[in-house]
A = this chain, B = another copy of it.
Amino acid sequence: MFTGLSAFPLTPFTADKPDEAAFLRLLQRLTEAGVDSLGVLGSTGSYAYLTRTQRRRIAELAVAHAGAVPMMIGIGAVSSAEVLHLAEDAQQAGASALLLPPLGYQALRDEEVFTLYQTVARHASVPICVYDNPGTTHFTFSDALIGRIAALPGIASIKIPGVPAELPAAVQRIAQLRALLPETVSIGVSGDAFAATGLLAGCDGWYSVCGGLFPRVAKAIAEAAQAGDDRRVTMLDAQLQPLWALFRQHGGSLRVMAAAAAILGLTAADNLPRPLLSLSGADYQQIAEVVTALELA
């Protein structure tokens, strides 16, 4: 389940509570498109804004809906005790895998992060994907630490935040990373604007925010990469450049994707957890134009 297209849907809100009906509409779009796997309660899934009870409920809904599609569930929390509770909840809900970020409040040290992964891997009965995204966790993995963690039994994949923009540098980086990992540990690219380059450079899969709402085009890119059709990957990615530009403009993907989901009629217009405020006005209009072009493509 750690290769191909893994789609990461939003957890839409309404009246500052998870909007279960809208969440199921998003999931349906993804299972109908035949994504290879699903990842819920990642950053885009607003895990950090939900209580333990809300997260258990979202996990149960997701597994029940997804049927045979493998389901990765985010278990990020600042406290290790809470992470272990969330891992237990996710497994009881039927998770196929767990996604674990090194979420800090006090800046974490390498030994603390290693011990966290070691502890969770010992307790878990399903594989773990390491979530590497300094933009949200404020923790930067060294290659040495990635290597130590990847060697732990139970670690199945590394979700990397991106690759160098130029393909030769990206190829070199993935080769360097691959040399640190056991053969059984996959590399999945994240940071959607880097995905095409990452897949061309040899990543095994794409942990995709874009794929969580626009699964057709994301799946076409992942399949073209698997087939070795580099020209098609580049051509399809070019269609998505306006979306990547919006991500850059709005400091990340969440607010843009939340507006896009509303524009598609899948969620309420205001669908973010407070204190986050939904985009509106000219921003919303600009996103609507990009969404319309994508849906027609």
Contact = CB atoms under 8 A, between A and B. Distances in A.
Interface string A39-67: 00001000011110000000000000000
Contacts of A162: none
Contacts of A119: 274
Interface string A96-124: 00000010011111011101100100000
Nearest to A137: B105
Interface size range of chain A in the complex: 20 to 34
Given A51-B82, A78-B48, A80-B16, A105 B136 contact: yes
Contacts of A254: 106
Interface of A: 16, 43, 48-51, 78-82, 102, 105-109, 111-113, 115-116, 119, 136, 138, 251-252, 254-255, 273-277
Contacts of A107: 251-252
Given A49-B78, A79-B49, A277-B115, A106 B43 contact: yes
A99 B163 CA distance: 40
A121 to B, nearest CB: 13
Contacts of A255: 106
**For A50, A81, A106, A115, which residue has the most chain B Cβ atoms within 10 angstroms?**
A106
Given A79-B50, A80-B16, A43 B105 contact: yes
A275 B113 contact: yes
26 contacts: A43-B106, A48-B78, A48-B79, A48-B105, A49-B78, A49-B79, A49-B105, A51-B79, A79-B274, A80-B274, A81-B274, A102-B275, A105-B136, A106-B136, A106-B255, A107-B251, A108-B275, A109-B251, A109-B277, A112-B275, A112-B276, A112-B277, A115-B274, A115-B277, A119-B274, A138-B138
A144 to B, nearest CB: 18
A102 B274 CA distance: 12
A251 B108 CA distance: 10
A108 B80 CA distance: 25
A79 B17 CA distance: 11
A4 B113 CA distance: 38
Contacts of A106: 43, 48, 136, 252, 254-255, 276
Nearest to A107: B251
A50 B77 CA distance: 11
Contacts of A102: 275
A271 to B, nearest CB: 14
Nearest to A111: B277
Contacts of A105: 43, 48-49, 136
A115 B275 contact: yes
A80 B277 CA distance: 11
A49 B103 CA distance: 11
